[in-house]
Copies of this chain bind each other. A is one copy, B any other.
């Protein structure tokens, strides 16, 4: 199969307008539609196709069938100088998350650090996007989220009981690309398993189990994720489930019942921002970060390794390329967007 023929290159601006139009067509106000579209296109630019516009049809169908509120009234349930707990009113995850991270940034500017948690929200796409909101503010960003399903086994387990939660850190640099770590607590995000399936590839051994709890490398058979590094991924998944769960008043994936109130069963998120200049002048900090990046990049490489990448560097390089040459999207990805556009009578802009 020639990979070239599988991809169509689209321009960011056109994709963003198109995505925003789809959201607006189902009742999302223009400001929110534009913001969500921007984040999803940014995620595509960064090559994280699983969490970019490929997820759009799912969100839009959620709005159409009443599962997601296109016009939420996000409100504060608790507040103190360096914290807030928000009720997202069943919003698109991106909408409440942008609101929450901005609030954490504003509060951190006054006190040095602030944490904001969110309940009653939905899937928010790529964690990296929200942590990265801290970067132009000269801050360090962190976030995590309670994912939807109990799709990961405990360490030593054979059925899904943990969420495969992501966590993301963003740290500003000076001349180097920022450090952006966005990782799931399992060996891979489910979206990446989907990418393996779409590309017809086998998964590495030891990543997943079948529905019966047996090891497999077939992405189509993968039903249970295993925690990365055994007890370490297991521990991180439990911690993040509480930061984005219990700390929002929410209920863990594994403990939801038909009687769980939906506002507690839905996704919860956790964000913090740290204001670097409270600790040292931002310029000095970013110079130290740059120096560390260069030393690590230039360290001795293992045989067969061409280059050592910093966290988020591959995504940053892909984004530079995408901004110059366009975003190479898989035909299946675009076909799915085209099908939705047909239903909503939005014109497709690619050939």
Q: Which of A22-30, A62-70, A280-288, A321-329 contacts B (4 or more CB under 8 A)?
A: A280-288
Q: A114-B113, A288-B245 are in contact. Are A156 and B302 (CB under 8 A)?
A: yes
A171 touches B239 (CB 8 A): yes
Q: Which of A89-97, A250-258, A332-340 contacts B (4 or more CB under 8 A)?
A: A250-258
Within 8 A of B (CB), among A244-290: 245-249, 251-252, 254-255, 272, 274-276, 278-280, 284-285, 288-289
Known contacts A232-B183, A311-B231; decide if A292 and B242 are in contact (CB<8 Å).
yes
Among B162, B249, B308, point to the contact of A154 (Cβ < 8 A): B308
Given A229-B229, A308-B157: A254 and B299 within 8 A (CB)? yes
Q: How many residues of A contact B (CB 8 A)?
A: 79
- In the docked arrangement, what's the CA distance between A301 and B155, Å? 9
A83 pairs with B278, CB closer than 8 A: yes
Contact of A232 among B159, B228, B289, B305 (CB under 8 A): B228
Copies of this chain, complex-wide, total 2
Interface presence of A179 (CB below 8 A): yes
**Chain B residues whose C-beta falls within 8 Å of the C-beta of A171 in the assembled complex:** 239, 242
Asked if A130 is an interface residue, CB under 8 A from chain B, the answer is no
Q: By the criterion CB–CB under 8 Å, are A299 and B153 in contact?
A: yes
Residue of B81, B233, B234, B275 touching A110 (CB-CB under 8 A)? B81
Task: Check if A291 is an interface residue, CB within 8 A of chain B.
Answer: yes
For residue A187, CB closer than 8 A to chain B, the reply is: yes
What are 8 A-to-B residue pairs whose CB atoms are below 8 Å? Answer: A78-B280, A140-B247, A154-B299, A156-B307, A171-B242, A181-B236, A242-B289, A247-B285
Give me 16 other A-B pairs in contact (C-beta within 8 A), A80-B111, A169-B239, A187-B229 excluded: A81-B82, A81-B111, A82-B114, A83-B274, A153-B302, A155-B309, A157-B300, A157-B302, A179-B239, A183-B236, A228-B228, A231-B311, A234-B311, A249-B280, A254-B296, A255-B295
Q: What residues of chain A have their CB less than 8 Å away from a CB belonging to chain B?
A: 78, 80-83, 85, 108, 110-115, 117, 140, 153-159, 161-162, 169, 171, 179, 181, 183, 187, 213, 228-229, 231-236, 238-239, 241-243, 245-249, 251-252, 254-255, 272, 274-276, 278-280, 284-285, 288-289, 291-292, 295-296, 299-303, 305, 307-311
